[in-house]
A and B are shown apart, each in its own frame.
Chain A
Amino acid sequence: MLASDVMSQDVVSIDPKKDILDALYTLYKTKADILYVLDGRIPLGVVTMRNLVDVIPNLGKKKPENILVEDVMNRSIKSVRPNDNAKELIDDLCERGAYSIPVMSGKEMVGAVNRLTFVKMFSEKCAKAYRVADLMSNTISTKNIYDSIETIRKEIMDYKTRRIVITDRDEVKGVITLSDLLIVLFSETGNLSDLTIEQVMSPGPLTVERDADVADAAKMMIKWKVGGIIVKDKNQRPEGWIRDRDIVHGVQIRLF
C-alpha cells in the first residue's frame, strides 16, 4: 500500500500572515487537529493546538491578534512522497505521535495522511477484531469539577496531557482538552483564572464500555471528530481512553 492510496486531499490550511486568533477560529470550526501553513501549495509549517497553548504564558502585554501564524508555527515537518510505503507512515503516526503527514510531489503538497485515514480503515476492515480493552490506554487524568482551572492548565502544560476528565462524585461531567483551554485567547480579560471549569469544559463526553468492539468506537470518532473516547468500567467510572492513536496501532498490528 502506498502513501497515495491512503492520502486525503481534504487538508485544512491557513495563510502564514494570518494571526493566531484566525488559526484558533479555524481549528474550532473544523475540529481539525492540525493546520497546514501554506504559501500556495508549498507547506511552510504546521500549527497545532499545542503550538497555540505554548503561546499563552508568553503573551505578556502582547495581544493575540498581533501574533502571526508564521511566528508560532512548527517549521520542521517530515513529509513523504506519493510512492512511499504506507507502513512507514503508520509507524510515524504511532511511534512519533504525529497527527498528519504531508504528501509532497516536488515542492508542492498534494495531500496528507492523517490518523483519521487509518481510523476509517479500521472501522471498515476490522469489525469484531478487538475489544476496547485490548487496545485502550489505561492512563487517565481526572479532576473534580470544583478544582481550579489553574490546576487543569498546569497538568496539561507540565505533563503534556491532552485530555482531562472532569468528574463530580465519580460521575463523568465533561472533558477539558488543550483546545478548550485556548478559549482564553478569545476571552474578554485574556486571563485563564477568570474562567471556571464549567465554563471551559466540553460537557457530556463520549464513553464506551471496555468490552465494546473497537470498530464501533472508531465509527464514533469519525462521526463526532474526536481523538479519544472515555472507557468506563462496570461501575461506570472512567478507567482509560481509547484514542485514535490506539486504533492506528491496531491497524499497524492487524493490516501491516
Chain B
Amino acid sequence: MEVKMKPKKIMIVDDEPAIAQTVKFILAAEGYDVSTALSGDECLEKLKKEPTDLVLLDVMMPKMTGWQVFEEIRKKHKDVQVAYLTVIRYSETAKDRMFKDGLADLINKPFDNDDLVNRVEKMLTTPRP
C-alpha cells in the first residue's frame, strides 16, 4: 500500500507581493504547501491557525521588522523553522550570532531558484539541534 506523505507547509513573508508570489510559485512547483503573508503581523496571526514547518521571512518590512517577527516566532512557535530572505549581505560573525539564536538559514535576494529549493529542502530534512 502506498502511503502519501503530507506536503511540508511553508509560509513566505514579504511586503513585496511580487516577491512573495514568485517564491510561492517556485516552492509550490516542488510540491510544498505554500502560503504567503505581506507583513509580520499577518504572519503571526496566520501561525496561530495554520501549522507551519518553515517561515521564509523578509527582514526590512513595514511596522514589524523580520528581527521582531523572528523573536515572536521563537517565543511562541518553537517548532517552526525560520530563515531570512534579505538584500543585506551579512558578515560571517553576524550570521553566526543569528544561527546561534536559532535562525535556520539566511538567503540573499536576488536568489538563484535552484539554490533556494536546495536550501529549503535541507532545512526541512535536517533535524533541528
Write the residues of chain A forming the contact surface with B, with a CB cutoff of 8 angstroms.
21-22, 25, 28-31, 63-65, 183, 185-190, 195, 198-199, 201-206, 224-225
Contacts and interface: CB of A to CB of B under 8 A. Distances in A.
B68 A199 contact: no
B91 A186 contact: yes
B93 interface: yes
Contacts of A206: 62-63
Contact of A201 (B15, B60, B94): B60
Contact of A65 (B15, B68, B93, B98): B93
A75 to B, nearest CB: 26
Contacts of B97: 21-22, 25
Contact of B65 (A25, A187, A195, A202): A202
Interface in B78-101: 87-91, 93-94, 97-98, 101
B89 to A, nearest CB: 4
Contacts of A29: 67-68, 70-71
B94 A186 contact: yes
Q: Chain B, interface size: which category?
A: 20 to 34
A222 to B, nearest CB: 12
B61 interface: yes
A147 B48 CA distance: 41
Contacts of A31: 65, 68
A189 B89 CA distance: 8
A236 to B, nearest CB: 17
Contact of A190 (B71, B91, B98): B91
20 contacts: A21-B93, A21-B94, A22-B97, A29-B71, A30-B71, A31-B68, A64-B93, A65-B93, A185-B94, A186-B90, A187-B88, A187-B94, A188-B91, A189-B89, A199-B88, A202-B62, A203-B60, A204-B15, A204-B62, A205-B62
